[in-house]
Structure 1
Amino acid sequence: MRLILNTFLRSFLFCFLLVGFSLASSLSAQAVNPKLPDPDALEREADDLDYQARTTQNPAESRRLSQQADAKRKLAVDTRNEMHDRELEKPYNKPTLELQWNAMQSTWESEALARNKNLGVNTYNALLNQAGAYQAAKTNAAGLGLNPNLLNDNLTTYSSPQGNTKTAFPIRATYLNTAKTFGIEFNYLDVRMKPSYTTFDVASSLSSAAPIQFHSVEYRRLDYSLNFAWYVITGTGRIGLAAGARNLDIYSKEYGNIPGNYGFGSSEEKAGGLGPQIGIRLFKNFSASLIGHFRADYFRTLGHYNRTTQGVLSGVSGPYILDTASMGGIKANLISRTGYEIDTGISFMRSRWLKYTFGFQFTELASKISGYNYNPTVFPGAPGDPLFLNQVSKPLDQFSSGSALGKEVHDKFYGFYFGLSLII
């Protein structure tokens, strides 16, 4: 009997301690996250207090009731904010996929225009103009009934571009694992701008075109990247490293009177490149619903460069075509780029699946072309054209334009953006 009683007492004591521990844990949790009042009930109480304040005849009582109503409404707002924060602070034990659409007011200073400026005025074509080499080549070609096929036979200065701003719409997709220690990023941008500028031909030769011309050109930027990121969780966010690949294609297209006294025609430039990039990532949680970010990437790309100009040259019968695309074993023209991109901003989590972001993005790169080689077989005209091209025109072009294309130029693309994210 005593053994049964002792066993019963020990079991009772164990149950008592277990219930006490559970009760203490519950009280501790309530102390950390106390139960919140009903915000809708607070709003109704505030309405009742407002009604009493309007109907009372005592001014002092009316002020007191109005102050109580204001306090109730403020408490209702604070309660809803607290409920929102508690919901976002709950651990989320699933991986996430974020799809972000941005509206970006962007500005672009294209490398294509910087190259044109180098071609328009450089030390070597100034020397050839002063020596009369370009003028003599065009006169000899006209006398033989041939196309001179000179890439840049004139000194041409450019004004600063006008209207080089546009609303771009970048897209970003981001995957994060459950622990938020690994992520995959995909960024995509396709934007076109039509800036305008004015050229002034300093030394006109065999041209009926006015020395001052107004130009409208289209620039297109196709920029996308894929990154893998690894993160370390900190007390207030995460920090990580990223590595991946970037593809960058920049095009330009122009119609009208082509700079350099080509006459009326079209000019087109294609410069593409693919290469690796590395970067850092910083995310700071200012609160459960407010998150700041900083991304920085360094990249290098290598690709092909092609420039095509065609039109009708004054004083020479028939159209001409200049094309730098390589054919028949001719050395390709390579373009190398080195650059960086910075993206920083702040995001507001409206809920677990909806986020708003305001940020700033800046991309700058330096590009350089390895050489200047073009294919003589694409030029129409008399049978002597390729011979004249290889013996006269091409050496002049490679002396002046080759060095201009090989000179490093800079490209800047930047702007503020507002983004909407859907988190799955």
Structure 2
Amino acid sequence: MGTFLKFVAVLFLGVGLLFSSPGFAQGSNQKLPDPDQLEREADELEYQAGKSQVQADRRRLALQAQEKRRQASEIRNELHDRELSKPYNRPTLEVQFAALQSTWESEVLARHKNIGVNNYNTFLSANGAYQTAQTSANNAGVNPNLLNDSVTGYSSPQGNTKTAFPIKLSYFNTAKTFGIEFNYLDLKIKPSYTTLDNASALAANAPVQFHSVQYRRLDYSLNFAWYLQTATGRIGVAVGARNLDIISSEYGVIPGNYGFGRLEEKAGGLGPQIGVRIFKNFNAFLLGHFKADYFRTLGHYNRNTQGILNGINGPYILDTSPPGGLKENVLSRTGYEVDFGLSLIRSRWLKYTIGFQYTELISKVSGYNFNPTVFPGSPADVLYLNQISKPLDQFSTGSALQKEVHDKFYGIYLSLTLTI
């Protein structure tokens, strides 16, 4: 990943030096011939060439017509570049539509891996603590409903590359000293992975299982930016807010060999962010940009598991949502986003951009709570997180959830920007 970033940075610098060199730059203010007149003269020369009976004259006149058309094309390009380089004395609103070929290593899967394999859980499985709790619960006539009674290994996800279609809105005042940005991304992806259950205590399913889970990433932000004009562009700072919700849902055999059912997880958060903005005008039609944001969010984490285990009467529900507020299961995130690219401007209202976006964050669940809301399987079946099993489960699962996990989202994008 680091080699790729270095390569893109060198390419970005090389293209910038090429297009900003004196030999490439254009900007002469001298009066230019009328390209339409040159086209008419070329038509006349071609007409004379067609009437001439001398082969040498016909060739000479045809070459002159070709030269006239070449001059007309170059003059039109020069006039176009001069028009783009003129100051635009109106506020602008940019609407950017992008296709982002993205790769996502979700924090959800990292958190599941922490739960599946951790030192406490391994110890409780090895010394028979889980088996003793199950026996005591059964003798007491209650259901243990352990959420994490197995040691489970996870493979890396397969098929985790997806094309996203983010939308960005940008407003700039007339002098381009102030701007407002709104970024929106809603991505759904369905990767797959396999698990190996090493110590299943309650279920009798196959130890190796295949899973397909849907991840959804809702990421949007609102920023206000202030700019200082430079000799070849502008540089500024941005402040705003970011909201990030990461949701997972799975239906089938629940990872960890916990039976057949569904597993859902939602990790949301809202918080401030601050960033820098750099725009570099290499010439009238080539623009480079570099954007970087640092953000922190605070929200709520909830994990809900519903399933039916072999040998257990009725379904069970395990819900980590607290009874109310954010007193427990608080989720904090710290992260950054980098975006850089090159834009080709061929008119005042149309711009093409190729760029690279990289977002990484670290998240941590600071609390862990069980909500004992359950559906009873039968009048005699006491389905709740009873006092026998709950302490063991909180001891192992809670410590695993509170570990820091990473989330990486990145990719190359192509975009079309309309300026209103």
Structure-2-length-normalised TM-score: 0.87
**Which residue pairs with 1:213 in the alignment?**
209
Q: Is the 8 A contact 1:246 1:277 kept in 2?
A: yes
1:151 corresponds, among 140, 147, 164, to 147
**Which residue pairs with 1:272 in the alignment?**
268
Amino acid at match of 2:209: Q
Q: Is the 8 A contact 1:36 1:79 kept in 2?
A: yes
Cα distance in 2, alignment partners of residues 133 and 101 from structure 1: 56
Deviation at 1:204, TM superposition (A): 2.5
Cα distance in 1, alignment partners of residues 354 and 366 from structure 2: 39
Structure 1 unmatched runs, 5+: 1-30
Cα distance in 1, alignment partners of residues 243 and 368 from structure 2: 23
1:352-381 deviation line (CA, Å, top 9, x unaligned) = 122222111110000010021111244635
Q: Is the 8 A contact 2:143 2:381 kept in 1?
A: no
**Which residue pairs with 1:71 in the alignment?**
67
Rg bigger for which structure? 1
1:181 corresponds, among 177, 184, 191, to 177
SS, match of residue 355 in structure 1? strand
Cα distance in 1, alignment partners of residues 417 and 307 from structure 2: 48
1:242 corresponds, among 231, 238, 255, to 238
Amino acid at match of 2:339: D
Give the direction of change, closer, same or farther, for the CA distance of 1:329–1:250 in structure 2 (3 Å limit). Answer: closer
**Which residue pairs with 2:16 in the alignment?**
none
- Aligned ranges for residues 249-328 of structure 1 at < 5 Å? 249-327=245-323
SS, match of residue 87 in structure 1? helix
Cα distance in 2, alignment partners of residues 379 and 391 from structure 1: 18
1:202 corresponds, among 195, 198, 202, to 198
SS, match of residue 388 in structure 2? helix
Alignment partner of 1:419 is 2:415: yes
Cα distance in 2, alignment partners of residues 339 and 229 from structure 1: 19
Q: Is the 8 A contact 2:171 2:180 kept in 1?
A: yes
Cα distance in 2, alignment partners of residues 360 and 215 from structure 1: 31
Alignment partner of 1:370 is 2:357: no
**Which residue pairs with 1:42 in the alignment?**
38
SS, match of residue 265 in structure 1? strand
Amino acid at match of 1:318: G
Amino acid at match of 2:72: A
SS, match of residue 400 in structure 2? helix
Give the direction of change, closer, same or farther, for the CA distance of 1:54–1:203 in structure 2 (3 Å limit). Answer: farther
Give the direction of change, closer, same or farther, for the CA distance of 1:86–1:145 in structure 2 (3 Å limit). Answer: same
Deviation at 1:393, TM superposition (A): 1.7
- Aligned ranges for residues 14-25 of structure 1 at < 5 Å? none
The 10-residue stretch of structure 1 (51-60 or 241-250) with the greater mean CA deviation from structure 2? 51-60
Amino acid at match of 1:114: A
**Which residue pairs with 2:83 in the alignment?**
87
Structure 2 unmatched runs, 5+: 1-26
Amino acid at match of 1:158: Y
Alignment partner of 1:393 is 2:393: no
Give the direction of change, closer, same or farther, for the CA distance of 1:63–1:392 in structure 2 (3 Å limit). Answer: farther
Deviation at 1:70, TM superposition (A): 4.1
Amino acid at match of 2:418: L
Q: Is the 8 A contact 1:54 1:62 kept in 2?
A: yes
Deviation at 1:330, TM superposition (A): 9.4
Alignment partner of 1:136 is 2:126: no
Cα distance in 2, alignment partners of residues 312 and 134 from structure 1: 18
Amino acid at match of 2:247: Y
Amino acid at match of 1:118: N
Cα distance in 2, alignment partners of residues 344 and 148 from structure 1: 53
SS, match of residue 37 in structure 1? coil
Runs of 4 or more consecutive aligned structure 1 residues displaced over 6 Å after TM superposition = 51-60
The 10-residue stretch of structure 1 (369-378 or 161-170) with the greater mean CA deviation from structure 2? 369-378
Q: Is the 8 A contact 1:145 1:316 kept in 2?
A: no
Give the direction of change, closer, same or farther, for the CA distance of 1:50–1:377 in structure 2 (3 Å limit). Answer: same
Q: Is the 8 A contact 2:229 2:235 kept in 1?
A: yes
Cα distance in 2, alignment partners of residues 267 and 253 from structure 1: 6
1:228-267 deviation line (CA, Å, top 9, x unaligned) = 1110000100000011111111000000000111100000
Give the direction of change, closer, same or farther, for the CA distance of 1:113–1:48 in structure 2 (3 Å limit). Answer: farther
**Which residue pairs with 2:4 in the alignment?**
none
**Which residue pairs with 2:161 in the alignment?**
165
Amino acid at match of 2:411: G
Deviation at 1:417, TM superposition (A): 1.3
1:148-176 deviation line (CA, Å, top 9, x unaligned) = 22111111111111111111111111111
Q: What RMSD over aligned residues (CA atoms) do the two structures have, in Å? A: 2.3
Q: Is the 8 A contact 1:326 1:333 kept in 2?
A: yes
Alignment partner of 1:349 is 2:337: no
1:95-143 deviation line (CA, Å, top 9, x unaligned) = 1111111111111110000101111111111111111222333344345
Amino acid at match of 2:196: F
1:253-297 deviation line (CA, Å, top 9, x unaligned) = 000000111100000001100111000000001111211111000
SS, match of residue 392 in structure 1? coil
**Which residue pairs with 2:13 in the alignment?**
none
Give the direction of change, closer, same or farther, for the CA distance of 1:54–1:408 in structure 2 (3 Å limit). Answer: farther
Deviation at 1:52, TM superposition (A): 6.5
